Amino acid sequence: MKMRDVVLNQIRHRETPEFPYTLPLEEEVAERVDAHYGNADWRKKIKPYIIGVAAVDTDPKTPIDSRYVRDEYGGIWRQDMRPWHLEKPPLAEPSFAGYEFPKPEIFYRPESKKMALRTCADNKDSFIYGTLGWGLFERSWNLRGFENVLVDSIMEPEFFEEMLDKLMNLYLSFVEYTADLPIDAILFGDDWGDQRGVIIGPERWRKFLKPRWAKIYKAVHSHGKIVMSHSCGSVSEIIPDLIEIGLDVLESVQPEAEGMNPYELKKKFGKNICFWGCLGSQSTIPRGTPAEIQAEIRKLRREMSCGGGYILAPAKPLQPETPTENAVAIIEAFTGEP
């Protein structure tokens, strides 16, 4: 069975003889693993079950100086610290008066699209998705500032909807530009949750975001592609809604967030949606022992893939705070090779 078929079967809720996985690492961690093994040969052992390509740059930035950059929407960001920070949003007031909303063409990357075509041709055994990050909610607060957009969702609902409609139409254009690639899926990114729950609350999410994402997901499905979406934090309250509007795969699934215990989510929703992630990046990975980590990986494989519907992964790429011995334990558990 090809790696692509393994992934497709899991997404279609069929058990497979092997377990698909993805294992992203930040380069600092990867370099420490190189030093641990004395070479970089371990990288070749990680199977490319899933590969991402991009034809659209949803977040291009132009340097201003050594600290600051400007995005294509006009926002000013400070990027010399971790995490980077929005210093000045482009819309100081809840109005588009005097503001020129960017056209989709400025985000298209023909050279990246050519590279994506080559990647697809060279990796026919892998499941390939086109990536479209910075979704409707994230970009709304990029335009207005985080606190401002939360206030807008309550005090300026007409403006908030106008902003989301402009963003939705932009993303529908992105889908059209991406979907003619020979890919299996499109992966969106939009962080709806924090540790406690949906940031704007489930009711406002259903009012403002659900109908717009429904249109975008429908557009993806109209091209015969699978819909995948990343969200950090707790989104358990809206998983039934995500299933209703056509989400096929939910990525990240941070087990530390409220209501996001992956084993409980599997019992409630596992027949209707595929989960991708679930290995705790705030708990198990940085704080567990190598033996505890490997035991959790075995449990995830055993319980989450029962009946299909699971892709093993850390909830976030292995972060700099990951101890080297823990990164090695994860690599060896994922690949099955000491």
Residue 92 lies in a domain: no
Q: What is the pLDDT of residue 337?
A: 57
Backbone region of residue 74 per phi and psi (left: phi > 0; alpha: psi in -120 to 50; beta: other values)? left
322: tokens are: 């990951």
Strand partners, 21: 312
Burial of 39 (0-12, 13-18, 19+ CB in 10 A): exposed
Residue 24 lies in a domain: yes
For the chain, how many structural domains are there in total? Answer: 1
Mean pLDDT by runs of 10 across the 338 residues of the chain is: 97 96 97 98 97 98 96 96 92 97 98 98 98 97 98 98 98 98 98 98 98 98 98 98 98 97 98 98 96 97 96 97 98 84
Q: What is the pLDDT of residue 83?
A: 86
Here the CATH number for the domain that contains residue 242 is 3.20.20.210
Threshold 0.75, pTM exceeds: yes
Residue with the two structure tokens 């609902």? 157
Domain that holds residue 192: 3-60+106-335
Residue 98 lies in a domain: no
Residue 70 lies in a domain: no
Residue 161 lies in a domain: yes
Report the alpha-carbon distance of residue 190 to residue 296 in Å, rounded.
27
Q: Which backbone phi and psi does 72 adopt, to 5 degrees?
A: -70, -10
* Residue closest to 269 by CA, chosen among 236, 224, 233: 236
Residue 71 lies in a domain: no
**In the sheet where 85-88 sits, what is the strand order?**
61-63, 68-71, 76-78, 85-88
Residue 300 lies in a domain: yes
Q: What is the pLDDT of residue 13?
A: 98
Residue 79 lies in a domain: no
Q: What is the pLDDT of residue 146?
A: 97
